[in-house]
Amino acid sequence: MLTVNLLDLGYGIVGAATAPLWARKARGGWRERFGHTPELGFPNTERPRVLLHGVSVGEVSALRSLVPLLTKSFDVVITSTTDTGMERARQLFADSWGVVSIVRYPLDFSKSVERFLDAVRPDAVALTELELWPHFVGGCRERGIPIGVINGRLSERSFKGYHRFRRVLRPMFADLTFAAVQNADYAHRFEAMGTPAERVVVAGSMKWDNSVGSADAARGAAIVRSMGLDPEALLVVAGSTGPTEEAIVHEAWKLAGGANEAQLIVAPRRPERFDEAARYLPGCVRRSEHRDVAAHGNDARVGLLDSIGELSDVYARATVVVVGRSFGDLYGSDPAEPIGLGKATIIGPSVSDFAEMVRSFERCDGIVRATRETLGAELRSLLEDSERRASVASAGLRCVEAERGASERHAALVHGMVNGTTPRMIASGEWRDGGGLR
């Protein structure tokens, strides 16, 4: 009990010290953050209950293909930490009420976790990518609730930080029932952190599965039209942009000479940057303005997608996509979604968080690499050369199709975790054939 109290005290001290930083942004759900979870509302209390956690938008989006596979057998509770992650979960799984419930993940104070687990009562927990907290893992251990990691990733940068505290963190990694990771490098890092090798499996990335058929071009056209842009014209979409990248993309678009009168839509990664991004895009029309096209005409050429959950649909309408967080000091964004939608896609040099995926696309000529200096020329080339554009897009689609199937493998592992057979499944290789699915 002393350790728990000291940890709670430490959380409190850190929270108070960093309050000037996190208090700058309005955050909702504070009652839920402290474990006061609302009624889940599952009508069938006899079915096992699986909790899937995704810290924010990207991790929640990775669950898109997995959840329908699990709801055949389980009630599924989806949790997220951020407001944007909660909103994304509601958008993705709005049609699954009764078998899916969406609630806030608690802060890792001991009482918050205790209240949360009392309310949710999961039979198994699967954490997307990696999100281990001492009280939560310890609380599950005390209640006999198995925990696995799905779509696991541990980048070299994160591993260096984790490894410095491996003596403290090792018990949490050792408690994992399984770690289903995206590639062999991640597997070695999980093992180095303390997860037994016989519980680690390379299951691939579920993001490959979510990149096909996940958007609606008609909705995308309606969004483009609502911004005063012409939904029939060529369109460059820069998605998940980071700090200053809006200016980089805007300048490259201008250097491309407005090839064939192409338009530009930019979608920042984080909502708190919407106003900043607008300053980098002089004269842009913001999606939040819901511009009256009938009154103003289709004279706009640059739009700012300052909304949540609409980027996929706008990708479906794009002619060329530029993947953000890859032209600055960040570590890349997921290129699989636009490529899976059949779009010629450009990504920058900074891709360490998605290095293996980008290498896969490069091997099949399914992606275009660019720097700040060459982005304008690559944009012009793809906009003007429809044959090159089609070649890059079709090669990317072939690569996506070859890599799909991770969601089925993850579903098999989660089934095995509920049934108490996952380690044996990994050892025997049953997961490769969808073992555990019924």
| Domains, the chain, with CATH or none | 23-208+405-433 (3.40.50.11720), 212-403 (3.40.50.2000)
Closest among 148, 238, 211 to 418, alpha carbons compared: 148
For 53-95, give the DSSP string.
Answer: E-SSHHHHHTTTTHHHHHTTTSEEEEEESSHHHHHHHHHHSGG
pLDDT of 5 above 80: no
DSSP 232: T
Q: Give, to the nearest 10 degrees, the angle between helix 375-384 and helix 386-403.
A: 100
pLDDT of 220 above 60: yes
pLDDT of 219 above 80: yes
**Which residues have C-beta within 8 Å of that of residue 372, sequence separation ≥ 6?**
248, 252, 327, 348
For tokens 């999961």, name the residue: 122
Give the tokens for residue 135: 């009280």
Res 22: pLDDT:
61
Chain segment 59-74, per-residue pLDDT in tens = 999 999 999 999 999 9
Q: What is the mean pLDDT of residues 328-346?
A: 94
Distance CA 45, CA 48 (A): 8
pLDDT class for 392, splitting at 50, 70, 90? very high
pLDDT of 302 above 80: yes
| Residue predicted with more confidence, 32 or 45 | 32
Chain segment 221-248, per-residue pLDDT in tens = 999 999 989 999 999 999 999 999 999 9
Res 46: pLDDT:
83
| Residue predicted with more confidence, 258 or 363 | 363
Chain segment 99-139, per-residue pLDDT in tens = 999 999 999 999 999 999 999 999 999 999 998 999 999 99
Q: Give, to the nearest 10 degrees, the angle between helix 166-175 and helix 134-143.
A: 40
Q: 422 with 416: CB under 8 angstroms? A: yes
Q: What is the mean pLDDT of residues 375-392?
A: 96
